Amino acid sequence: MDAGVLNLDTLLLVQICVTLLTTALLVASACYTQSPPEQRWWAVGNVAVSVGMTLGNFDSVPVFINSALSYGVIAFGLALVLRGLRVYCASSLSWTSIAIITAIAVLVAAYYSLGEPSLRARLCFSGFYFALLNWICAAAVARHGSWRVSGIAVAGFTLLGLALFLRGLHMVVDADPADDASSLVIGLSALVVPLAQVCIAFGLIQMVMWRYAERLRRLSTLDALTAALNRAGLEVQGKRMFLRAQRAQRSIAVIMIDVDNFKVINDSYGHPVGDEVLRHLARVVKVELRPHDVLARFGGEEFVLVLDGVDLASAVRVAERVRARIEQEAVSLDKLTVNYTASMGVVCSDQHDYDLIRLISAGDAAMYEAKRAGRNRVAAG
């Protein structure tokens, strides 16, 4: 490819325009009251990078501003982006680390601008250092995110780091770093940088959108009071469980759980205590859950526990453990202490086939048998 085709002035203008547009996109996406903190860090970081790039392209300003200060602002912006990525991954980056990242850029650039002036050394350092920071950003996302969600952002940070690294490497071997107008490497890197910036911006926004979609999915399938599945969630996950168990010819057991005299608890102690009873029951049952088991609030004070690979006798033992623990533990709220019990009905696919609705219906009938027999007991159906 002819280096002359890659007009550096045009590519620089494109790079500046893309930087401003991607920064504006991130800022706009972060400018609402409930935007997550990581999104605001990304926006502020990109604004800082844009300011640093602008300072670095003003030849009329003092050399300290044109080189050392501009490098420091760019490094500060990348550090804020990294902090946002760490926050997204349920971690953080301390202000001390951000200060160190910024100080390294300022001090090294100042040394090669004022102490021992060397354009080659300064450009090599900027290429390698900013490449390293972008690769650290890529690694932070890659370690904690699904490639399906974060792949675009990882590719953008990796590509941008590669372009900056090659630019720094080119400065090592370039005979005259001040005259790069005919350099194919510089032209290609100037072409790659805006493409990588677009990948990063859209990748970050995609990560936030996926997280919001995941939260909406959880809200649509979880009971807000107990954090157990709701009926919609039970239908979705229950069908998957039954299909897997039927293919493998494993038994599936269903335990229907109902709080005894729940209306009396609400009437005597108030609905907040009743809510705490339901939360307590959910916590007790979750102790028995294995990774593939399912707990759902079926309605009111009634819960469904679906056990994968468990026969009727084993499910009865599980139900007895849950029943005994409920009976032994007291629920406390606002200086009120309440003891309660629960009745349970246990059924299994060995007797009722692989049909969730049929098992729930049979379990419900067994649970009412337990209530008629005196409550606070387990009945098998």
Annotated active-site residue in 38, 276, 301, 302: 301
Active-site residue flag, 235:
no
Distances (CA, A) of 274 to 35, 333, 354: 34, 10, 34
- Return the closest-CA partner of residue 126 out of 171, 65, 157: 171
Instruction: Give the span between the Cα atoms of 197 and 179, in whole angstroms.
Output: 26
Q: Are 131 and 168 in contact (CB under 8 A)?
A: yes
In one letter, which amino acid is 73? V
307: closest CA among 348, 343, 363?
Answer: 348
The CA-based dihedral angle spanning residues 161, 56, 107, 45, taken in that order and rounded to the nearest 10 degrees:
-60
Rounded Cα gap, residues 83 and 97, in angstroms: 10
Element (H, E) at 184: helix 184-221
Report helix angle 231-248 to 184-221, nearest 10.
Answer: 100
User: Residue 236 — φ and ψ, nearest 5°?
Assistant: -70, -55
Q: Is the dihedral of CA 25, 203, 55, 15 positive or negative?
A: negative
Structure tokens at 333: 């709220």
Q: Which of 245, 327, 324 is nearest to 292 (CA)?
A: 245
- 173: phi then psi, degrees, rounded to nearest 5: -105, -5
Q: What is each CA distance from 25 to 9, 57, 93, 195, 352, in whole angstroms?
A: 24, 23, 24, 15, 56
The catalytic residue positions are 301
